[in-house]
Amino acid sequence: MTKLSVNINKIATLRNARGGNVPDLLKVAADVQRFGAQGVTVHPRPDERHVRYQDARDLVSVVHTEYNIEGNPMDNFMNLVLECKPTQVTLVPDAVDAITSNAGWDTVKHQSYLKEVIAEFKRNGIRTSIFVDPVLSMIEGAKETGTDRIELYTEAFAHQYGLGNLKAIEPYTKAAELANSLNLGINAGHDLSLDNIEFFKQNIPSLLEVSIGHALISEAIYLGLENVVCLYNQKLRG
């Protein structure tokens, strides 16, 4: 079975837009696990515009499934991860001002750097994963870094699938087959949704984990909106 890790960054974005603690990030983390999620993901960025570094610390005592912290392994991020000791750290080559993750690592160009940071995390008992595009040379380069897993960056697939192009899965299938042959675990994430997740899963051999945030939270709003409007109307009829 492929594990679902729920990225709760959007909950923090909504909280921060108003101030205060609504919605409660820690409660959401507890609830998604209670509802069946096998993991919780956060991606604290240096400007703390959504998940804050303190949130990542506070979640340590709340996440009893798999805890995954994503980010660019700059000094502050590395210190945070080594302090929190999550189940997994996912390394993403984000620019400081990136709105969202938009590319995988060049595992050839940055191989020595990745080897160094991955070795440090593994010395501390933290499983490592690195964000990569479905390019065979990048998968081979990932193997050389010593990472435990890769996370396939799925935006290109999701976009093309939405246009009806089912062949967009092919480079991902080939990347997964190569990763399996190299004994690399396979995760995936970015723009996966209820519309495309089943097809993606069916075509990726030995998919271990998907990390889904933006679509899942948006779908939760769509699917729950009618119920909440009805509840308000019930209260207002009295």
Of 43, 50, 151, 209, catalytic: 43
How does DSSP assign 154-197, residue by residue? -HHHHHHHHTT-GGGGHHHHHHHHHHHHTT-EEEEESS--TTTH
Domain encompassing residue 21? 3-236
- How far apart CA 91 and CA 9 sit, in angstroms, is 16
- Of the candidates 50, 66, 151, 190, the residue annotated as catalytic is 190
Most confident of 29-38, 69-78, 89-98: 29-38
Q: What is the DSSP letter of 210?
A: E
Please determine, for residue 95, whether its predicted confidence score (pLDDT) is greater than 90.
no
Q: Within 10 Å of residue 47's Cβ, how many Cβ atoms?
A: 9
For residue 81, what are its two tokens? 């991860």
Average pLDDT of the residues in 9-33: 97
Catalytic site includes residue 50 = no
Q: Express each pLDDT in 163-183 by its tens digit.
A: 999 999 999 999 999 999 999
CATH of the domain at 34: 3.20.20.70
Q: Is 190 a catalytic residue?
A: yes
Total structural domains within the chain: 1
197: pLDDT strictly greater than 60: yes
pTM over 0.85: yes
Residue 44 in tokens: 């604290």
In the block, tokens 């709105």 appear at: 99
Q: Could you give the CA distance from residue 78 to residue 176 in angstroms, rounded to a whole number? A: 28
The pLDDT score that the predictor gives to residue 130 is 97
- 50: three-class secondary structure by DSSP: coil
Active-site option among 66, 70, 151, 209: 70
Q: How far is CA 155 from CA 56, 71, 113, in A?
A: 25, 17, 25
Catalytic-residue membership of 43:
yes
Express the helix, strand and coil content of the chain in percent, nearest 5 each: 50, 15, 35
Of 182, 186, 199, give the one whose Cα is nearest residue 132: 186
Q: How many Cβ atoms are within 10 Å of 228's Cβ, its own excluded?
A: 10
